[in-house]
Structure 1
Amino acid sequence: MNSQEKKAGLSWRIKDWIAGYVFIAPVTIGLTVFYIWPFMQNFWFSFNDVNKFNVTHFIGLENYKQLLSDPEVFQTFGNTLKYVVVTVPVGLFLSLVTAALLNSNIKGKSLYRTLYFLPSVTMAAAVAMVWKWVFNGQMGILNSIITSLGGPRIGWLIDPKLALYVIMLVGLWMSVGYNMIILLAGMQGISKTYYEAAAIDGAGPITQFFKITVPLLTPTIFFVMITSIIGGFQVFDVVYMMVGKLNPAYEATQTVVMLFYRQAFDYGYKGYAAAISILIFGAIMLVTLIQFVVQKKWVNY
């Protein structure tokens, strides 16, 4: 190879290098401006006392010390964990069953898929307002049906023992359709030859589901589980819209993201709120790492 050929090859490599960075530049800039830099700034704020004008005063670990001694943090974190523990497995089960049914040969399955997916693309504020009217203790549709049958009115959203479970129900209604689409896509990627061979061996639909569908769908199931856990830890809008601050059930339904919002925007304690957000980030990262470890052991098994 002569010198001209070497120069031509080097020129092409430089052009490819430049073209590659040009193509990834929009995404890189977007991630840096809207994700990486705000996270770094938020992490710095967690070690500072930040006033309403974003003037910082370094106080070290004081925000984290207050975080570990604040009973409201433990209560809201407990509410969030309860929400995650209930909605994630129940939602995964419902999504898996729904996806399996809509993956079979039934009439109108395209219509059913659309109907199940619609709640996922509806604005959370609109969903919360509709369900708040349904569960209204005085004029709600549900209580009207119960009283017409001779039953008592139930304070669905003002009873501390019931309000969080009502919100869980709304959260499931919103998330099942989205997870169902992801699982359905995973199911359609499984070769039909596995099912044909299993049918020849005499395996029924239930056996095929547990012996073929679930094992081969494991990566998709774990993806849905991780995204559901992350979404559960970040639940805010539905709770905020359905349960007001003057509601007797507010403390029983307040999530850790709601506490972050109150500390940052209602009280103006932005440094303390930043520490709460770092706690949320750490909890999500820990659960995600555990999920990845469990996934590797499951797949190897």
Structure 2
Amino acid sequence: MTTTTAAPAATTVTPPVRGTSARRRTAVVSYLFVAPVAIGLFALYLYPALATFALSFTDWGPFGGNTFTGLDNYLSVFSSEVFWRALVNTLCYMAIGLLVIPAAIVIAALLNKPGLRGVSVYRALYFIPFITLPVASGMVWKWLYNGEYGLLNSFLEMFGISGTYWVANPATALVAIGAVQVWSQIGYYLVIFIAGIKAIPTHYSEAAEIDGAGPLRRFWHITLPLLSPSIFFCTVINVIATLQIFDLIYVMSQSSGANPAYNATQSIVTLFYETAFVDNTKGPATAMAFLLMILIAALTAIQFRLQRRWVEYA
């Protein structure tokens, strides 16, 4: 008699289900890793912004204490002619500061030229002004701009051109300070654009060169479009930085009593400093600070919107 043995039934192995405690432990660890950045953002950015907004509706006493005044601070700021002049000056600084973008792109393209000797030396020379303290740069350029013994006027006299008191003349003071701002920031953007150009694959330019495209055409139709992410980043950073310009103005223009061109160079941040810490009227000063924050946020949002349109069009 033969016996048949049935084949063993197939067993299905089910993966172990993670319990609630394990998921909770993972979430806690994740939050602990995010906590330092989140605390820093809240303590250094979010809370000061909310506190500025709340204090902009109050009047500060000389010994502390806040009194709610409604929209009086904003009405005082909007009715001030000095504020509107400072706003126009700030936008002028922003426009002048944007000139650093095309200048840095051109210099970065030249420094990426094959066979160029001493490239590292040129990069270091361009980057040194950026790591120099703005106060030190302002003091040196204030001496260069001096109307009596400045090197700029001495250089112009060699060609028979009579210079002026560049920082003390209301007609030239703003442009003079804006030029120093461009000079001091070009090294930062130069490093970014050099890295961006090096990241562009070389076969695009090689194929265009085979088709007969010259250097300018390759730069305009290949390098610039592929460099647009770097250009967008640098433009956003530059606008935010120039809208908050303070050091160079304060060092090179000193105060309104010592320099007749101070009002022609005053920005919103310098006006905020004078209103809050010299005139000790902190209510309108906080209103100015919040309005400046709104201006920066609005211009940044516009730039992001234009960038999306550019990507869609391209």
Q: Which amino acid aligns with 1:40?
A: L
Aligned mates of 1:194, 1:52 — CA distance in 2: 66
Indicate how the Cα distance of structure 1 residues 99 and 54 shifts in structure 2: closer, same or farther if over 3 A, else same: farther
- 2:31 pairs, out of 1, 11, 21, with 21
Contact 1:51 1:268 in 2 (8 A): no
Larger Rg: 2
Aligned mates of 2:129, 2:63 — CA distance in 1: 39
Match in the other structure for 1:264: 276
Report percent identity of matched pairs.
41
Question: What SS does the aligned partner of 1:161 have?
Answer: coil
Indicate how the Cα distance of structure 1 residues 54 and 179 shifts in structure 2: closer, same or farther if over 3 A, else same: farther
Aligned mates of 2:91, 2:229 — CA distance in 1: 24
Aligned mates of 2:157, 2:37 — CA distance in 1: 55
Contact 1:190 1:216 in 2 (8 A): yes
* 2:301 is aligned with 1:292: no
Q: Normalization by structure 1: what TM-score?
A: 0.93
Match in the other structure for 2:148: 138
- 1:184 pairs, out of 164, 176, 194, with 194
Contact 2:167 2:253 in 1 (8 A): yes
- 1:5 pairs, out of 16, 19, 24, with 16
Indicate how the Cα distance of structure 1 residues 62 and 2 shifts in structure 2: closer, same or farther if over 3 A, else same: farther
Note the C-alpha offset of 1:153.
Answer: 4.6
Indicate how the Cα distance of structure 1 residues 53 and 37 shifts in structure 2: closer, same or farther if over 3 A, else same: farther
Indicate how the Cα distance of structure 1 residues 259 and 118 shifts in structure 2: closer, same or farther if over 3 A, else same: same
RMSD (Å) for aligned C-alpha atoms: 1.9
Indicate how the Cα distance of structure 1 residues 3 and 299 shifts in structure 2: closer, same or farther if over 3 A, else same: closer
Contact 2:96 2:182 in 1 (8 A): no
- 1:194-231 deviations in Å (ceiling 9; x for gaps): 11221222212111111111111112111111111111
Match in the other structure for 2:92: 82
Question: What SS does the aligned partner of 2:16 have?
Answer: helix
Note the C-alpha offset of 1:143.
Answer: 2.4
1:21-100 maps to which residues of 2 (within 5 A)? 21-88=31-98, 90-100=99-109
- 1:109 pairs, out of 116, 119, 138, with 119
Note the C-alpha offset of 1:247.
Answer: 0.1
More helix by share: 1
Contact 1:79 1:252 in 2 (8 A): yes
- 1:231-268 deviations in Å (ceiling 9; x for gaps): 11111100110001120101100011111111111111
Question: What SS does the aligned partner of 2:166 have?
Answer: coil
Aligned mates of 1:299, 1:150 — CA distance in 2: 50
Contact 1:136 1:156 in 2 (8 A): yes
Deviates more, 1:155-164 or 1:43-52: 43-52
Aligned mates of 2:135, 2:28 — CA distance in 1: 44
Deviates more, 1:76-85 or 1:146-155: 146-155
Unaligned runs of 5+ in 1: none
Indicate how the Cα distance of structure 1 residues 175 and 66 shifts in structure 2: closer, same or farther if over 3 A, else same: same
Aligned mates of 2:267, 2:235 — CA distance in 1: 20
Q: Which amino acid aligns with 2:287?
A: A
- 1:86-131 deviations in Å (ceiling 9; x for gaps): 221x211101101111122211111111111111111000000110
Q: Which amino acid aligns with 2:249?
A: V
Question: What SS does the aligned partner of 1:57 have?
Answer: strand
Q: Normalization by structure 2: what TM-score?
A: 0.90
* 2:158 is aligned with 1:173: no
Unaligned runs of 5+ in 2: 1-11
Aligned mates of 1:46, 1:72 — CA distance in 2: 18
Aligned mates of 2:35, 2:185 — CA distance in 1: 33
The count of corresponding residues between Structure 1 and Structure 2 is 299
Indicate how the Cα distance of structure 1 residues 153 and 86 shifts in structure 2: closer, same or farther if over 3 A, else same: closer
Question: What SS does the aligned partner of 1:248 have?
Answer: coil
